[in-house]
Structure 1
Amino acid sequence: MIRITVLSLTIAALALSLSACGQEGEEKTKVIKLQKHEANLPPVPTIPAVNVPETYSDRSYSLYGLRRNKARAINTVVEVTAYVAKMYEKPNCPEGQTCPALMPHLYLADEPNEPIAKRQMRLVGWAQNFQEIEDAKSGKERELPEGIELPPVVHDWEVGRKYKITAMFTRMSSAGFQDTEGLLDYKNHQCLDCPEDPKKK
């Protein structure tokens, strides 16, 4: 009888101990509710629609129109009416050092302040290097090897001005510039909104 009582007390004590451990576990386990946060994303930018015709009254292309007709216009000489959007600038180089520079080139756009780079198009081939531009500004004539013909060096492009440009529409220029979407290799140009040069009167 004594053994049964002792055994019962032992079992009861063990049960109480396990119950107490369970209560401690329950007390230690706390569920923390996280605050709900809503994503605060900026609005999707609206890209304005192109507001130019494919060709103008003089039958010159807009850049938009040139790209729309790329299949038939590529690798042909075309006339394009566009604005100079930006120009590649020669990198500043410390005195006594030589800094590599790309050949002079610029970017055209259908609007004078076009911010979307994919709507711009590169124009190359109007100068072989920046020294040629400086020589042209000073009136020095370009000396070319016999049998080599190049268009005249252009030194008076102005950002924001409107030009009618004759060029080869190609994916690779004669100087090695490449663009799968197409670029323009310069032949000739006319400024459509530049002030009249008094020297030409």
Structure 2
Amino acid sequence: MKTIQIDDDLYQFIAANTQKIGENASDILRRLLWEHAEIKTVEVSLKSNSEETAVLKHENSAVTESTNTEVKNNELGSTIIEPQEIVTPSANDTVICKDTTVFNLLNKEEVATQKGAVGRFLFILSKLHRAHTNTFTDVLSIKGRERNYFGLSASELEASGSSIKPKQIPNSEYWVTTNNNTPRKKFIIFEVARQLGYAESDAEKLRELI
């Protein structure tokens, strides 16, 4: 096995493309290079059929020009063309692939470099938020017997208990209590994962990273 040196930004790129915990850099690079080769093959195939594609676009231009339309038949059998509403995403909309999970963003080695249980706790929560930005608000329902675990401000959490040491989850508007012991932090991570739709086995994998 050969040892090479790479810049930090390249390492971050490789780590960001991890698909499963424990996947090493060689496997990640091999997969990315294979995917790149497949894309090139598809591009060549598309180029060879470009003339046929151009003809199809020309034939369909009368229907798709300027607006989307839906063709319906009325009771008399004549054709009715009805305009369809075009929805344009706003600049504030967050677009996330439906197949994105925290395991696409989480690297076991990166987790290990975080400072203590609190650092690992916040790091995993940050990745969960990134993967599920649109539904992360559901974690606000996760509470202890006498206190809230999550809130939208430090003062909101401090109002539910004393000495809770609230910290903001990195790159999010959410706050979380951090004075819980390690087993409780593991429990919170497990509950967050379950709330966001992960199977119990995957939630267990995240819990064991704390």
With the shorter chain as reference, the TM-score category is: under 0.3
User: Greater RCO between the two (CA within 8 Å, min separation 6)?
Assistant: 1
Which protein is bigger by CA-based radius of gyration? 1
| Structure number having the greater strand percentage | 1
The TM-score normalised by the length of structure 1 is 0.26
The TM-score normalised by the length of structure 2 is 0.25
| Structure number having the greater helix percentage | 2
